[in-house]
Amino acid sequence: MSLDYLKGKKILLVDDEDDLLEMLLSILQDDGYRRIRTASTQKDALELCRTWKPELAVLDVMLPDGDGYTLFKEIRRISDFPVLFLTARGEDEDKFRGLGLGADDYIVKPFLPWELTLRLGAILRRSYKHETPLLRLAHCTVDFERAEVIREDGTLSLTAKEFELLAALSRNAGRIVTTDLLCEALWGDNPYGYENSLMAHIRRLREKIEKAPSSPESLLTVKGLGYKLIVEEEQA
């Protein structure tokens, strides 16, 4: 199973450097993560933990109103979601302290973007491996693990192309995905000439996920640009 369904998890980024927060946000968004909040202080981070309820946090050790180790302990009073330390403090003593508290990983700055996304993805897979990857739409639920659409009137199987199409759209839920990008996702590096085939797959997919395929509520056409998938989920 791919990581696609895990990219809808809520991720909290905590660092007192605004430039770094923007860079982290960009790295994760480029990799498909879409529910991200940031905090620059321990106080703001704890407030988000209580109200927004993240499902993974990336913490700096050095914060203006405390340190990441103390923040980690306070988070553990609220929730047991996974935590990754990302900090300039690279001494063995610091790593042992962070991991000894129960953190899931520890990355030292400077770092490579792919290192962060690979480790973050590994943490998510470990932490949520028993969770069923479900995508909730207006009139059905998509079970990616079984490649099925679950509706009130029964269950329908997805073809390979329909699965790939939904996965590409779900990675960018709520955002426009161009026709070219969808064709590339389905047919590879030379997607030109597949527009009619894409439209046919869109039509068949709507017949499975929409209550009224001719008046779609989940898989919308954005004229002249592409398509947008509307996912039913709690407010980010």
In a 3-state reduction of DSSP, which class is residue 94? Answer: helix
**Torsional class of 158: left (φ above 0), alpha (ψ -120 to 50), beta (otherwise):** beta
φ and ψ of 39, to 5 deg: -145, 145
The answer to whether 4-127 and 134-229 have equal CATH topology is no
Strand partners, 136: 141
pLDDT for 188 equals: 72
In a 3-state reduction of DSSP, which class is residue 211? Answer: coil
What value does the mean pLDDT of the chain take? 88
Q: What is the pLDDT of residues 32-70, one digit of tens each?
A: 887 899 999 999 999 999 998 899 999 998 899 988 899
pLDDT for 3 equals: 57
E strands in 89-138: 105-108, 134-136
127, 22, 233, 182 alpha-carbon torsion, rounded to 10°? -100
Q: What is the mean pLDDT of residues 117-138?
A: 84
Name the more confident of 1 and 181. Answer: 181
**Torsional class of 193: left (φ above 0), alpha (ψ -120 to 50), beta (otherwise):** left
Residue 170 one-letter amino acid: S
Q: What is the pLDDT of residues 78-115, one digit of tens each?
A: 999 999 999 887 677 777 888 888 999 999 888 999 99
Decide if 158 contacts 166 (C-beta within 8 A).
yes
pLDDT for 117 equals: 93
Q: Distance between CA atoms of 35 and 21, rounded to whole angstroms?
A: 14
Answer yes or no: pTM beyond 0.75: no
Domain 134-229 has CATH 3.30.9.10: no
Name the more confident of 11 and 188. Answer: 11
Decide if 125 contacts 133 (C-beta within 8 A).
no
Q: What is the mean pLDDT of residues 169-187?
A: 86
Q: What is the mean pLDDT of residues 147-151?
A: 93
- CB within 8 Å of 159: residues ≥ 6 apart: 204
- Superfamily of domain 4-127 in the CATH hierarchy: Response regulator (3.40.50.2300)
How is the chain split into domains, by residue range? 4-127, 134-229
